Structure 1
Amino acid sequence: MEKVSESTWLTEQDDIKPEVWLIEHETRNGAKQSETDMNELRRSLIEASAKFHDSPRMIANRAVQLEDMLKEEGGDETAIVLISRLNDAIAPNRIESFGAAGQQYYNMRKAGFTGEQALDALTKRYGSRS
């Protein structure tokens, strides 16, 4: 059985999978999650790990960090939603890391962009080249 950590950072020593940690993080914040959500999150973390060349743990940590930064600015996006949105906006090998993508997203949001406008800008800059 995995030990759920209530810490704000998931370390290599924590005996918990990143998807379980993220689900527990959202559950503590009042969200209801299902087994389907867990499977989708696991798939999303695997995609993000390949795309951004970061470990699923680092992506989980950076997503929660981005969630917290956005909340301080009045945003309401969850870490899980942010992982999915950045996965959709940015093509593989187009940006340094998930943290770099999150920082650019945050900077645009802080500058007054809506979430959709920020994602559109990221897609135009880092999306698939067709």
Structure 2
Amino acid sequence: MIRIECPNCKRDSYTLSVENFRPCPYCNVTFSGKFGIDRRNDFRKKNDRPLVFSYNQNKIKARTFNKSLNGVGIKIKDNLHISRGDIVNVDFGRYRLKAKLMWSKRKNGDLYSTAGLKFLK
């Protein structure tokens, strides 16, 4: 078990994974030890699939780690050289969607960059 502090009420709770989003048992704010307070209102489902997206004529291989109706969390082996707010084209099999980069992180020592993409209508 891993002890994590709620970013809202600052009380400790316990989890098996710092990446999972769970409600705080004291204040009910949904957060993860790694990503902080959940800013997405949609239900998230764990998902681990290959994904290709393109930006400035470059195809970038990634893997999803979760998905929701309006977005997807991805991890990339290399550093992500895309700025927050940039628009990318995401290929899901036969489908191509436009998405906006909402956030990206790479902590020291991590093998992957992580990012959140919001699908555009």
Global fold match (TM > 0.5): no
TM-score per shorter chain, which class? under 0.3
TM-score by length of 2: 0.27
TM-score by length of 1: 0.26
Bigger radius of gyration: 2
More strand by share: 2
More helix by share: 1
